[in-house]
Amino acid sequence: MGRGVAITGMGIISAIGNNVQENLRSLTSNKIGISKITQIKTIHEDEIMVGEIEDTNPVLEKKLGIEANQWSRTVLIGSIAAKEALESAEITDINEVSTGFISGTTVGGMDKSEQYFYDYEKNPGIRQHITGLHAGDSTNKIAKYLGLEKGFVTTISTACSSAANAIMLGARMIKSGQLDRVIVGGTDSLSKFTINGFKTLMILSDTYSTPFDDNRKGLNLGEAAAYLVLESDAMVQKKQKKVLGYVKGYGNANDAYHQTASSENGDGAVLAMQKALKVAGLLPESIDYLNAHGTATPNNDLSEGRALLRIFKDGVPEFSSTKSFTGHTLAAAGGVEAVYSVLALQNNLIFPNLNFQTPMKEFDLTPITETKEKPLQTVLSNSFGFGGNCSTLIFSKEA
Amino acid sequence: MSELKQELKEKIIEQLNLEDVAVDEIQDNDLLFGEGLGLDSIDALELIVMLDKDYGIKLADPKEGRKIFESVQTMAAYIEANRSR
Amino acid sequence: MNKNNFIQGYCRIKDNTVLKNEELLFSEDTSTLNEFLKLAYQHFKTDYSKFFKMDRLSKLGFLCADVLLNSLKENNLFQENTAIVLANKSASLDTDRKYQKSIEDADNYFPSPAVFVYTLPNICMGEISIRHKLYSENSFFIFDAFNADYLWEYTNSLLQNKKADSVLCGWVDVDEDSYEAFLYVVSANGNLNHTKEEITRLYFTNE
């Protein structure tokens, strides 16, 4: 089957670190990013725990060297992570070759809209945030910050699989020669909107989330931005680029079951994993580590667990949900976990699924609960979204 | 109690947008979920909001809803026993 | 390599009319989109009670897809492995606003889970997938305006790489008083050439 698409750079900002190195350090030292919420005032502050990025907006603005209060937090963190990704790929002139930027988001500029909803009329000084509510606007602003002048820019909005789908689309566009390189991933900041929304769905845990545990109570929301730089073989050769890993396989399928709930046996998840394995030309047994979607909601972990058993039978690979560190970062999750998958490959490490105690009644599946060293060739990462949108990515050390 | 049941039927139709269901088509003991009215998990959450908003009853765990929302009969009985408004 | 694909049919809902392949199927002057969609639903004998639970974006996309896919089914042209590629400008902003209002009011704080569920544009694709049992690939893009070039390229790549046998694609947008759905199905067989020019022509013809 086809060769993988080279990953030459990555960047991330999350509740467990402001860059790739900090995230790796937290992952290997069990430093959890979940806490009480501090940066948003919400009536739910005593009932929920979240994965908040430490820096406040003014700190982020200073780091980016931009004017105060012009951008939503989604754009700020997106710019930080995308900039790190470009730097790590040692790209100095972004317009030198045909370059794309594909970003997933669901929240967009919602944080600013809710902050100023009632003030737009009397305060012209904040009206820059009105257009910021369009999801596409955040992507355009980040592209502009990166200096991307005429490249292909688009926003994907498929809920919690958005970033995974952005990576899939980017890999395809590289393979088909439409782009020489592309920055792919996603960004979502915390907002009252999503906090209240998930609260009304009654799937927020009031304590640390416990993915794949029988007593799981729901998810912790988180915020993050994470991007990969993908480049064509020709670019890698021409510039003698250091390759961090490869996007080897990808698949997307619809669960066709319910607006938000996953089907009982994970039909969409099974199809997505099958498609990704096929594109990668790999058999299930060659997956060395599986970074699960693992949101810690009763519904997801049961459905995903059953899907894993359908694909891998009695050979389910060692797996964990790193959402126990970061919270569920919605549209960014697929990007965050892509970065963690590459870190796993680079360091031959499996990151733990924190807070796990009791295996689920329905099946015999136990995640990895302590950092484990193991030679890794391939990592599979799942991201499933509302609307039944299921995506699987496979990363590999070799093309 | 029969007044409450009538009220609940009207509210269920209104709140859950059951456009093609009439009040007299819902029997007191009809199952609301699954084979009965075919309500789903989101409808259950809407009913939890309704309990709170109209009757001052707060449910913390959606699982509690399963027994309460079995039928209009069970709902009415639970509301009678627990309502604060 | 670059095998030709064809547009099997298209459907457009705009300005209180439903148009399929140049044929005016339904038109009714109403004051609101919801009212129009309800009348259209009844006109097409849609019989799908969950329709009334959807938000306006999903109703619009669902109905447009339903008219189109049902007509393909009647003519035995429908293919099970139909991917969905949709785009719009406003994402789910229409419903986002509605939900936003419900959480802003501290004295009357009862936000609706059924509204929140629809605060993502791709739920519309989920509804179409559930109705027509499509377990296929689907993606939702946000663009400033209808982008024939991009849809054309993405659809061709899905068909060429055998990710799908046909693709339901197009534009579904709702923002306050303006709305528009334009969907078409592309596959290896059909009457209209699948070219950027043809997509653009169909999109603008009935404006």
User: How much is the CA Rg of chain C, to the nearest whole Å?
Assistant: 17
What is the CB neighbour count within 10 angstroms for residue A233? 16
Q: What is the DSSP letter of A8?
A: E
Give me the long-range contacts of A18-26 (CB less than 8 A, separation at least 24).
A18/A53, A18/A54, A18/A55, A18/A80, A19/A84, A20/A84, A20/A88, A20/A339, A20/A343, A23/A339, A23/A340, A23/A343, A24/A343, A24/A347, A26/A325
Give me the mean pLDDT over the C68-79 stretch: 96
Domain that holds residue B70: 2-82
The DSSP-derived string for chain C is -----EEEEEEEEETTEEEETTEEEEE---SSHHHHHHHHHHHTT---GGGGGS-HHHHHHHHHHHHHHHHHHHTT---SSEEEEEEESSTTHHHHHHHHHHHH-GGG----HHHHTTSSTTHHHHHHHHHHT--S-EEEEE-SS--HHHHHHHHHHHHHTTS-SEEEEEEEEEETTEEEEEEEEEESS-SEE--HHHHHHHHHHT-
- Cβ of residue C122 closer than 8 Å to a chain A Cβ: yes
Mean of pLDDT over chain A = 95
Q: How many structural domains compose chain A?
A: 2
Q: Which residues contact A391 (CB under 8 A, 6 or more apart)?
A: A158, A161, A164, A165, A168, A250, A251, A252, A272, A334, A382, A383, A384, A385
d(CA C182, CA C204): 10
- Cβ of residue A322 closer than 8 Å to a chain C Cβ: no
pLDDT higher than 60, residue C207: no
- B41-74: per-residue pLDDT in tens? 999 999 999 999 999 999 988 888 989 999 999 9
Q: For residue C1, name the pLDDT band (cuts at 50, 70, 90).
A: very low
Q: Which of A100-114, A324-338, B3-17 is least confident?
A: A100-114
Task: Please identify among residues 53-82 of chain B the ones whose CB lies closer than 8 Å to any CB of chain A.
Answer: 61-62
- A139-156: per-residue pLDDT in tens? 999 999 999 998 999 999
Out of A221, A239, A257, a domain closes at A239
- Residues of chain A with Cβ-Cβ distance to B61 below 8 Å are 202
Of B17, B21, B42, the CB nearest to C113: B42
Q: Which residues contact A332 (CB under 8 A, 6 or more apart)?
A: A104, A105, A162, A163, A185, A186, A187, A188, A223, A224, A225, A226
Give me the mean pLDDT over the A53-74 stretch: 95
* Catalytic one of A129, A134, A258, A293: A293
pLDDT higher than 50, residue C205: yes
Residues A225 and A291 both lie in one domain: no
Of all residues in chain A, what percent carry a pLDDT higher than 90?
Answer: 90
Is residue C1 domain-resident? Answer: no
pLDDT higher than 80, residue B38: yes
Domain at C16, CATH number: 3.40.47.10
Q: How many structural domains compose chain B?
A: 1
H helix or E strand, kind and range, residue A320: strand A318-320
In this structure, are residues A49 and A57 in contact, taking their beta carbons and an 8 Å threshold? Answer: no
Q: How many residues does chain C have?
A: 207
Residues A165 and A274 both lie in one domain: no
Q: CA distances (Å), A395 to each of A53, A235, A342, A344, C197, in order?
A: 26, 19, 7, 10, 38
By C-alpha distance, which of C62, C64, C42 is closest to C54? C62
Q: What pLDDT does residue B33 have?
A: 92
Q: What pLDDT does residue B62 have?
A: 87
Give me the mean pLDDT over the A313-322 stretch: 98
| ipTM of the complex as predicted | 0.94
Residues A255 and A147 both lie in one domain: no
Q: What pLDDT does residue C154 have?
A: 95
pLDDT higher than 80, residue A133: no
Domain at B19, CATH number: 1.10.1200.10
Domain that holds residue C44: 6-205
A293 is catalytic: yes
Is residue A1 domain-resident? Answer: no
Out of A179, A204, A239, a domain closes at A239
Q: What pLDDT does residue B85 have?
A: 84
Q: What pLDDT does residue A224 have?
A: 98
Q: What pLDDT does residue C56 have?
A: 97
Q: What pLDDT does residue A1 have?
A: 46
Chain-chain contact of A201 with B45 (C-beta, under 8 angstroms): yes
Is residue A52 domain-resident? Answer: yes
Give me the mean pLDDT over the C102-113 stretch: 87
Domain that holds residue A200: 7-239
- C31-71: per-residue pLDDT in tens? 899 999 999 999 999 999 999 999 999 999 999 999 999 99
3-state secondary structure of A250: strand
Angle at B69 between CA B67 and CA B71, to 5 degrees: 105
Q: What is the DSSP letter of A18?
A: S
Nearest CA in chain A to B59: A202
Residues A72 and A208 both lie in one domain: yes
Give me the mean pLDDT over the A359-374 stretch: 98
Q: What are phi and psi of A155, to 5 degrees?
A: -115, 135
Domain at A377, CATH number: 3.40.47.10
- Residues of chain B with Cβ-Cβ distance to A261 below 8 Å are 40-41
d(CA A288, CA A348): 10
Two tokens at B37? 């009215």
Q: What pLDDT does residue A131 have?
A: 66
pLDDT higher than 80, residue A111: no
- Cβ of residue A283 closer than 8 Å to a chain B Cβ: no
* Catalytic one of A44, A129, A258, A328: A328
Is residue A2 domain-resident? Answer: no
Residues A356 and A305 both lie in one domain: yes
Q: How many structural domains compose chain C?
A: 1
Residues A213 and A263 both lie in one domain: no
Q: What pLDDT does residue A251 have?
A: 98
Interstrand relation of A318-320 and A99-104 (parallel, antiparallel or unpaired): unpaired
- For chain A, report the end-to-end CA distance as a whole number of angstroms: 11
Mean of pLDDT over chain C = 94
